[in-house]
Homo-oligomer: A and B are copies of this chain.
Amino acid sequence: MGKVAIIGLGLIGGSLGLAIRRAEPVDTEVVGYDRDGRVAASAVQAGAVPKAARTVEEAVAGATLVIIATPVISIQKVLAEIAPRLRRGAVVTDTASTKLSVMGWARDILPPTVHFIGGHPMAGKEKSGPQAAEASLFDDRPYAIVPPKDAMPGAVSTVVDLVSAIGARPLFVDAEEHDAYAAAVSHVPLVSSIALFNLARGSAAWPELANMAGPAFHDLTRLAAGAPEMSHDICLTNRDNILHWLDRYVDELYRLRSLIEQSDAETLFRTLAETQLERESLLAGPPRRKEADVDVDLPSPGEAFTTMIAGGWIRRSKEVADSLEEQAKERERKERLRRRE
By a beta-carbon cutoff of 8 Å, the part of chain A in contact with chain B is 121-126, 141-142, 144, 171, 173, 177-178, 180-182, 184-186, 188-217, 219-229, 231-232, 235-236, 239, 242-243, 245-250, 252-257, 259-261, 263, 265, 268-269, 271-273, 275-276, 278-280, 282-283, 286-290, 293, 336, 339-341
CA distance A190 to B282 in the complex (A): 18
Contact B249 A207 (CB under 8 A): no
CA distance A123 to B217 in the complex (A): 10
Contact A208 B224 (CB under 8 A): no
Give chain B nearest CB distance to A116 CB in angstroms. Answer: 21
Contact A265 B232 (CB under 8 A): yes
Contact B211 A339 (CB under 8 A): no
Q: Which of A121, A223, A249 has the most CB of B within 10 A?
A: A249
Contact B293 A211 (CB under 8 A): yes
Contacts of A290 in B (CB 8 A): 207
Contacts of A257 in B (CB 8 A): 191, 243, 246-247
Q: Assuming the A-B contacts A192-B220, A287-B206, A339-B205, are A214 and B122 also in contact, with contact meaning beta carbons closer than 8 angstroms in the complex?
A: yes
Contact B278 A201 (CB under 8 A): yes
Contacts of A271 in B (CB 8 A): 194, 198
Q: Assuming the A-B contacts A177-B208, A228-B276, A249-B196, are A203 and B184 also in contact, with contact meaning beta carbons closer than 8 angstroms in the complex?
A: yes
Q: Assuming the A-B contacts A220-B193, A225-B279, A268-B232, are A122 and B212 also in contact, with contact meaning beta carbons closer than 8 angstroms in the complex?
A: yes
CA distance A126 to B283 in the complex (A): 10
Contact B220 A336 (CB under 8 A): no
Contact B275 A213 (CB under 8 A): no
CA distance A257 to B276 in the complex (A): 29
- Stoichiometry, as copies per complex, reads 2
Give chain B nearest CB distance to A53 CB in angstroms. Answer: 28
CA distance A182 to B256 in the complex (A): 18
Give chain B nearest CB distance to A194 CB in angstroms. Answer: 5
Contacts of A260 in B (CB 8 A): 191, 235-236, 239, 242-243, 246
CA distance A144 to B211 in the complex (A): 10
Q: Assuming the A-B contacts A189-B220, A249-B199, A273-B228, are A182 and B235 also in contact, with contact meaning beta carbons closer than 8 angstroms in the complex?
A: no
CA distance A193 to B256 in the complex (A): 11
| Nearest neighbor of A168 in chain B, beta-carbon distance | B214
Give chain B nearest CB distance to A18 CB in angstroms. Answer: 17
Identify A235's interface contact among B141, B171, B178, B268, CB under 8 A.
Answer: B268
Contacts of A144 in B (CB 8 A): 212
Contacts of A249 in B (CB 8 A): 195-196, 199, 253
* Besides A192-B192, A213-B286, 18 new A-B residue pairs in contact (Cβ under 8 A), listed by A number: A124-B216, A141-B215, A142-B214, A178-B212, A184-B199, A186-B212, A189-B217, A195-B256, A208-B336, A211-B289, A224-B279, A225-B276, A228-B269, A232-B272, A235-B259, A239-B263, A242-B260, A249-B253
